């Protein structure tokens, strides 16, 4: 079992070069994604998390004002920070089509 885990964890450069999702090279135009569906997913996730979070707090009897408002605001702020970091990584690595200015990644 330990040997299988070690083999899985070891980087095989030749196998990665031949894979469809090669992490060692820039994305091709066929691998890039449009920005619209990714933004829709991000906003949808934000609304889903906010609704679930607020509903669970109301169900537990926590007062709406100021407790739920404050905790929802802080939760959305944390969600925004994580999303901004992920978006910046996508921008710098040219995952998002049309927004990267980094010519070394093949854009």
Taking the model in full, what pTM does it have? Answer: 0.43
> Is the Cβ–Cβ distance between 105 and 43 less than 8 Å?
no
State the pLDDT at residue 96. 56
**In the predicted model, is pLDDT for residue 93 greater than 60?**
yes
- Give residue 99's pLDDT band: very low, low, confident or very high (50, 70, 90): very low
Encode pLDDT of 36-77 as tens digits.
Answer: 887 788 788 777 877 787 788 788 888 888 888 888 788 878
Sign of CA dihedral 11, 14, 15, 20: positive
Alpha carbon distance 95, 34 (integer Å): 9
78: helix, coil or strand? Answer: helix
Please give the backbone phi and psi of residue 33, each rounded to the nearest 5 degrees, phi first.
-120, 150
Sign of CA dihedral 20, 22, 25, 27: positive
């Amino acid at each position: 079992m330990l040997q299988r885990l070690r083999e899985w964890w070891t980087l095989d450069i030749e196998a990665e070069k031949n894979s469809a999702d090669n992490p060692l090279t820039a994305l091709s135009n066929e691998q890039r994604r449009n920005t619209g569906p990714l933004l829709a997913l991000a906003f949808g996730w934000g609304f889903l998390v906010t609704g679930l979070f607020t509903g669970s707090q109301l169900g537990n009897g926590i007062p709406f004002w100021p407790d739920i408002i404050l905790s929802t605001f802080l939760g959305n702020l944390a969600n925004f920070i994580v999303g901004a970091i992920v978006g910046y990584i996508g921008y710098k690595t040219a995952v998002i089509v049309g927004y990267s200015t980094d010519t070394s990644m093949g854009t």
